[in-house]
Chains A and B, each alone.
Chain A
Amino acid sequence: MGFKNYCFKKSLWVFHFGGASCNNCDIEILDCLTPRHDLERFGILLVGSIRHADVLLVNGSINRRDKDRLIELYNQAPKPLLVVAIGACGCTGGIFAEGNTFAGPVDKIIPVNAYIPGCPPKPEAIIAGIVKLVGTI
């Protein structure tokens, strides 16, 4: 384990990017931070700027207008960066994959480290996914 990966062991700071989503995954991500699930006890914190983040959570299908912005955010982020695709739309495009504005699932645009499927995934599933991801480092 290199020094950079060692830093991932504690206090993951998370930036949340919602593409063209239906909002369900957004609420469930926020729900992880509220009293019942309380992700902050693991040091996981939602931050307002990608430049502070260790993890980029992407949910929702990515449309043509979001695509460039997602790439820009990825380039702005300090590396190493873990990218997590959340929800059916983030993983594959889901029900919107046939849409005329669909620009490809997240892993066709930026490299993805983990997938959390579900429509929407339950907060428990999101926590389990992040814990598994940390375990692989």
Chain B
Amino acid sequence: MSRKTLIPIGPYHPLQEEPELFKLYCDGEIVKDIKWETGYNHRGIEKLSESKTYDQVFFLVERICGICSTSHPFAFANAVEEIAEIEITNRAKYIRSIIGELERIHSHLLWVGLAGHFLGYNTVFMWAWKYREPILDLFEMITGNRNSYAMFKVGGVRRDIENNKIPVILGTLSDFRKKADLLTGAVMDDPVIHARTKGVGILTLQDVIDYGAVGPTARASGLAIDVRKDDPYAAYPLVNWKVITAQAGDVFAKAEVRLLEMYESISIIEQCLDGLKKEKEGDITVKVKEIPEGIGNGRAEAPRGEVFHFVMSDGSNSPVRHKIRAPSYVNIATFKKSCIGQTIADATISLAAVDPCYCCTERMAVAYDINSGNRIMNAEELINLSVKKTYEIKDSV
């Protein structure tokens, strides 16, 4: 058997949304096998949820993931409203979709920025995060908080978007569209980014189907899977938009899908705001008496893919069973296909391409030689390796 080097990434590492441990088994510079361990971020949310009332659960599921903090309440609301057979007002539907799409924009920007950071393009990182700020300002204006919006409740939303705020939102979005053009141009036309991301971490259509991948990860491989179209909820059936797909399945295609989705989101928000003007102001909730006995399934399209919530009710004021499945759970398994056979420098961006929401840059990752136990490299050095490769390509282009 040939000698293999074990490179652990994590548990406290930039690449992962949650602290997770990835073990890359390498032969020379080539990744031969990958294994992962989870549990560092276990908080017992499903159990906690059973001790809370339906109104309180919204605040809890919002804190499953700070970046998808609309998607989880969205799916939970869909599930509970299925049990109680509640039809919410059109105004509430529009507001829900607006918040969901604003979240998609800020999440995709965050991804583009961090992907740039990993390729050694700190300019892209700084730009993307700078352009993200006006979107967060919109959130602060509408909901009162930059993250964790607390907008949802059973039967509608908690706060209205008053008609006098609509021009402000439209203004910010039209400003943002120009900046997005700039950013998209910078990413899509750069020869070095092409060289670093094209043909790297490829997932074929068959891989995506086999592993059950969802969201942009699947759409970049040509699978047009999107809960907003497949199982329409909120205001998505009321507006015109299309599912963005790409065929290549590599890191570049994933970036392309995310960048183009931002434009779709802008268009959805604009149409929702038009719809909002026609509805009566303040008509945002319907009265809910009690949640009857029953089972509800709720689905929502998070920026990373399908969020699924299963809720079982016994007629009391809190759920008796609450099961949650987040998109990263299925997408992470695709690393088995996308990373094996890559070099270590490319593995970094391949892991990042799935967007396991690696917002916590610069944590612990130390590589040990499996035979001697000597320390080889840490997270910074891994990133430096990736950065070095970019510079080499830059020089040769």
Interface residues of A (CB under 8 A from B): 15-28, 30-31, 34-36, 46-50, 60-61, 63, 65-66, 69, 73, 94-96, 98-102, 119-120, 122
Contacts and interface: CB of A to CB of B under 8 A. Distances in A.
Interface in B37-62: 39-45, 47-48, 51, 59-60
Q: Is the interface of B mostly helix, strand, loop or mixed?
A: loop
B42 A23 contact: no
Contacts of B133: 34, 36
A96 B147 CA distance: 18
B66 A49 contact: no
B362 interface: yes
Given A99-B44, A119-B148, A35 B129 contact: yes
Given A16-B362, A46-B361, A98 B51 contact: yes
B197 interface: no
**Contact residues on B (Cβ < 8 Å of other chain), bracket:** 35 or more
Nearest to A29: B360
Kindly list the 10 A-B residue pairs having the minimum CB-CB distance in the complex, ordered from nearest: A24-B66, A48-B380, A34-B129, A23-B66, A99-B44, A22-B63, A26-B360, A48-B362, A35-B130, A100-B44
A46 B359 CA distance: 13
Contacts of A19: 19, 41
Given A16-B360, A98-B48, A23 B12 contact: no
A100 B47 contact: yes
Contacts of A50: 364
Contact of B65 (A23, A25, A28, A48): A23
A24 B148 contact: yes
Contacts of A46: 361-362
B318 to A, nearest CB: 13
A47 B47 CA distance: 36
B66 A27 contact: yes
Contact of B42 (A16, A20, A98): A20
B359 A96 contact: no
B106 to A, nearest CB: 9
B146 interface: yes
Contact of B359 (A30, A63, A122): A30
Q: Is the interface of A mostly helix, strand, loop or mixed?
A: mixed
A46 B383 CA distance: 14
Contacts of B17: 23
Given A22-B65, A24-B148, A49-B380, 10 more contacts: A19-B41, A20-B42, A23-B360, A30-B359, A48-B363, A49-B378, A63-B41, A98-B48, A99-B43, A119-B148
A98 B19 CA distance: 21
A122 B146 contact: yes
Contacts of B238: none
A20 B44 CA distance: 10
Contact of A120 (B44, B64, B66): B66
Interface in B1-60: 11-12, 17-19, 39-45, 47-48, 51, 59-60
Contacts of A18: 12, 19, 360, 363
B110 interface: yes
Nearest to A35: B130
A23 B43 contact: no
Given A31-B129, A35-B126, A24 B147 contact: yes
Contacts of B69: 22, 24
Interface of B: 11-12, 17-19, 39-45, 47-48, 51, 59-60, 63-67, 69, 110, 113, 125-126, 129-130, 133, 146-148, 357, 359-364, 378-380, 383
28 contacts: A15-B362, A16-B361, A20-B18, A20-B41, A21-B41, A22-B148, A23-B65, A23-B66, A24-B69, A28-B146, A34-B126, A34-B130, A46-B361, A46-B362, A47-B362, A48-B362, A48-B378, A48-B383, A65-B39, A65-B40, A94-B63, A96-B45, A99-B44, A99-B45, A99-B48, A100-B44, A100-B47, A119-B63
Nearest to A88: B63
Contacts of B19: 18-20, 66
A36 B362 contact: no
B147 A63 contact: no
Chain A CB within 10 Å, residue with most, of B67, B125, B146, B380 = B146
A137 B381 CA distance: 33
B141 to A, nearest CB: 14
A5 B196 CA distance: 44
Chain B CB within 10 Å, residue with most, of A28, A94, A119 = A119
Contacts of B129: 30-31, 34-35
Nearest to B12: A17
A120 B147 contact: yes
B152 to A, nearest CB: 16
Contacts of A65: 39-40, 42
Given A17-B12, A36-B130, A23 B359 contact: yes
